[in-house]
Amino acid sequence: MATELSVILPRVLIVSRRSLRKNKFVDFVGEYHLDLIVAYGAVPVIVPRVTGVHMLLDSFEPIHGVLLCEGEDIDPSLYEAETSNLSLEELEEIKRIHASDTSIDKEKDTIELGLAKLCLERNIPYLGICRGSQVLNVACGGTLYQDLGKELTKHCPKEKRVVHIDYDNYDGHRHMVKVVVDSPLGFWFKDSLEEGKMEIWVNSYHHQGVKRLAQRFVPMAFAEDGLIEGFYDPDAYNPEEGKFIMGLQFHPERMRKPDSDEFDYPGCPFAYKEFVKAVVAYQKKLNGSTRVPKSLKLDQEMENKRKMIVKSFSLARNLYAAGHGIHPSYKESELAAGAEFLESNTALSLQQEKRLTQIGVTVRNSGSYKERLKLNGERERLARKVMDKMTVEHLSDLMSFYHMMGQICSEVLEKKLHDLVLNDLAS
């Protein structure tokens, strides 16, 4: 059963974060992310932050979704062409205050930007949380504030200033954001919004953020200082159809009541729920585009009926070759079976002609094949003579049965032509 589930469930790639423990590097991913992905029906596949992994991303196929989350600051050279307005003294101060986040990890940048661009190229569902939202914006040509305190907060009126990170209260820290009404966030949290207000309190842990939002995205939430806290691509958002491209600067997975797994709002896990819904739909769509039709199998009853038709063809061939009427030992029903079947299949369908053309067969070259399916005048006259001697009830039963057999024949022929096309393309 476990093996079957591992094959059936879609795969969500998550890149690990590197940490130093006992003088050794350790890769990890926050457990909340993993729990939610599993809970909603997907398998998290951790991509280790190891040198050279960015060249091995093809080895992680099939990729049905990508979730990128926490990590260090993104290399500023990847999004800022011009020199930052921050002074050397300010940059040094930022490194002292945010020592755990300001060390650039170029390998992680390369891996995650590669995955983000892959998702954008192939429309693979993507959810970016915190740093993951910043990666998504940078991958699409947007820019970031290198430090919110130095570049945004100090320029805001005091009543609009926001604390986006509290090192002493990681899980408990909250600040208010305003949700855009006609957005996925607005829909997820609609039951928790006070009348006339579009405000929720979110957990965040970052000192950088979106400065210029990439053109393809639309904001979903703003902090009081104007920082974009959530965005998505409306043209690539339809979870039921496998479409999901979104970034959230805050942490919905951490918005839980003290000493409890209960969420602050019912809408908190919806980003993960809808993301996995899109991942499942994307997997189905991907499997459908590569699925090879199964071989048609006949049960014993159908097999017996097929043999009747083959026998009818054999008897008719002998009769036609001899050039005389019905032999006393032949049963009318045996000849009638083949005649009725051929009469319902006197020509190729348009789709079958198209298949023949696809495998390089011209109309002239396939003429002999078509002619074998058409009755000449003499054979048609003889078949009608046989049918004329049958009762109405018998004719009605035969017509119903051989119409069904005609459909089966058409399906089998269609499959064989399909296989010929595949073989031709493979060669």
Query: Which residues have a catalytic role annotated?
Result: 130, 251, 253
CA distances from 272 to 64, 108, 188, 346 (A): 14, 23, 11, 56
Terminal-to-terminal C-alpha distance of the chain: 38
Q: In 164-304, where do the E strands start and end?
A: 175-179, 199-202, 209-212, 218-223, 228-238, 243-248
Closest CA to 43 of 2, 1, 6: 6
Write out the DSSP string of 222-241: EETTS-EEEEEEEEEEEGGG
> 134-165 b/e with 16+ CB inside 10 Å = b?
bbbbbbbebbbbbbbbbbbbeebeeeebbebb
- Determine the Cα–Cα distance for residues 357 and 16; give it in Å rounded to an integer: 51
- Determine the Cα–Cα distance for residues 325 and 319; give it in Å rounded to an integer: 7
Structure tokens at 413: 């022929």
Structure tokens at 250: 């805050």
Are the C-beta atoms of 95 and 37 separated by less than 8 Å? no
- Determine the Cα–Cα distance for residues 49 and 25; give it in Å rounded to an integer: 10
- List beta partners, residue 21: 24
Closest CA to 125 of 40, 6, 25, 247: 247
Closest CA to 229 of 267, 264, 199, 187: 199
Pairing of strands 209-212, 243-248: unpaired
